[in-house]
Amino acid sequence: MEGVTAALNAAMANGAPGAMARFTGPDGVRSRTVGVRDRVSGAAMDVQARFRIGSVSKTFSTVVLLQLVQEGKLTLDAPVNQYLPGLLPDDRITVRHLLTHRSGLADYTDDMFNNTVPGFEAVRNRVFSYQELVDLSLALPRTTEPGVAYKYSNANFVVVGMLIEKTTGRPVADAYERRIFKPLKLTKTSYVHPDTRIKGLHVRGYLHPDEAGAPLVDSTEQTVSWAQSAGAVISSPGDLNTFTSALMRGRLLSPAMLETMTTVTPTDTTNTRFYGLGLRRYDLSCGTQIFGHTGTVQGFYTYAFSTRDGRRSLSAVANTSNHGSANTALGGTLEAAFCGKKPAAAPSSRAAASPTAGELTQLPAERDLPERH
């Protein structure tokens, strides 16, 4: 775990007050923490603490929707408008297009958080309806024709939440609880929208303003109503490891549906990053393929990934955001945990030295939300 600790320290060197990771494998559980979970009290980062997982929520939402598909209540290649009549302006947009980010629906968060802190404060305590969020997306130009290209958009998973609620007749929180949280005994995982609090022992999140040198903003309390089914789940490192491992082991979906979920297409030209149905696949330098999701919500960066057989899983979090170098550094925990690679250097370093044997230079982190740093 030396490389994992180095990656966590690199995240701190790049602006995170603290960071932690939990790795579960055949040899048991190993955890590492650095820094603080609360800048005011000075409380140390704690691997038992809860935090906001951001877009890792998309994988939870996808599991629920795919279970409904298994039950014959939805069809992946049916138009969204078949289930939500008149919602979208194009009948060609299917359920599958939402889950693969190929709908062409614009991501309203690009405008919402164009100015990071003012944008956040404007929605911190606001409660949106799903329809209001869809309307924000539809007011913007579409990004692609349906099915043509991958373009990440939170709007897709807002519509997924609408589909879940329309199909089940119940709030999405009930679906998470009944279909995932309770069966897997995820006692530290919750969906409390629009409650602004994280209950119990938790990590406080700190948002970097756009202005260099400006003080961090405590962003812990918020409704996350601007994201809902796209990003409002709360969890812990242990629960995330349990979830990703159980998913890959087939405890939540049938073998055929899991194969569908893990069938991926490239998201960039690196030939290392791919997207399936609500699920990222990263092909690591040692040849290992891992499945899971990244997450960004104000004050938190998260990684939650597992090998395809579910035997090894990692979750990592840093309590900051709008500081991409910290996110990239945190991503170094993946190569460290699954491949034994040590990060070459903190991304802020301008040293020209090449990585030594066993070290790895990382790609910039995914941007699940717009960022200015």
Q: Which residues are catalytic?
A: 55
Distance between first and last Cα of the chain: 28
| pTM (two decimals) | 0.96
What is the residue range of 11's domain? 1-339
CB 34 within 8 A of CB 250: no
Dist CA 222 CA 206 (whole Å): 12
Asked if the structure places residue 9 within a domain, the reply is yes
Note down pLDDT in tens along the chain; length 373 residues: 999 999 999 999 999 999 999 999 999 999 999 999 999 999 999 999 999 999 999 999 999 999 999 999 999 999 999 999 999 999 999 999 999 999 999 999 999 999 999 999 999 999 999 999 999 999 999 999 999 999 999 999 999 999 999 999 999 999 999 999 999 999 999 999 999 999 999 999 999 999 999 999 999 999 999 999 999 999 999 999 999 999 999 999 999 999 999 999 999 999 999 999 999 999 999 999 999 999 999 999 999 999 999 999 999 999 999 999 999 999 999 999 999 988 765 544 333 334 444 555 578 999 899 888 7
Helix, strand, or coil (residue 18): strand
CB 45 within 8 A of CB 19: yes
CB 369 within 8 A of CB 297: yes
Dist CA 242 CA 57 (whole Å): 14
- What would the DSSP string read from start to end of 174-196? HHHIIIIITTTT-TT-B--TT--
Q: How far is CA 234 from CA 96, 231, 258, 294, 300, in A?
A: 26, 9, 24, 14, 11
Asked if the structure places residue 190 within a domain, the reply is yes
Dist CA 243 CA 231 (whole Å): 16
Asked if the structure places residue 348 within a domain, the reply is no
Asked if the structure places residue 103 within a domain, the reply is yes
Supply the CATH number for residue 162's domain: 3.40.710.10
Tally of structural domains, the chain: 1
> Which amino acid is located at 38 in the chain?
D
Asked if the structure places residue 25 within a domain, the reply is yes
Asked if the structure places residue 178 within a domain, the reply is yes
Asked if the structure places residue 345 within a domain, the reply is no
CB 78 within 8 A of CB 69: no
Asked if the structure places residue 352 within a domain, the reply is no
